[in-house]
Amino acid sequence: MKAWRLLGRRNGGRSTRRTRGRHSEGYRSPAVSRRVFDPAARAQAAQLDQLEPGWLIWYAVYDRLYYAISHTGITTPACVAGPTPDALCALMREAESMTRIGWVA
């Protein structure tokens, strides 16, 4: 048989007997464990969120940054981001001082 005829076979040269797929009826799906990325950083963000009542604080896994948005009731809430909790706190204090002076746009 010529090579081009083997390549053009309907089933690609595989057996015609089909095996049972994982989406077929009666198939039990395997257990998948959930992976938690940066659990220590998330815990620090949650703790900082509890310590700062006027701010919503979270840790973004993709960016690996801590974010905070103020709850002060101003029309343009301050949003700051920092690589560490200490840097975020410093930026939060700076944003609070600017809103007291009236520099928020």
Query: 3-state DSSP call for residue 19?
Result: coil
73 located within any domain: yes
Residue 79's closest CA among 94, 62, 64, 61? 94
9 located within any domain: no
Going 12 to 17 to 20 to 24, the CA torsion angle's sign is: positive
74: left (phi over 0), alpha (psi -120 to 50) or beta: beta
26 located within any domain: no
Domain of residue 103: give its range: 36-105
How many structural domains comprise the chain? 1
51 located within any domain: yes
Q: What are the pLDDT digits (tens) for 11-54?
A: 555 556 666 666 777 777 778 888 899 999 999 999 999 999 88
pTM for this prediction = 0.65
57 located within any domain: yes
40 located within any domain: yes
79 located within any domain: yes
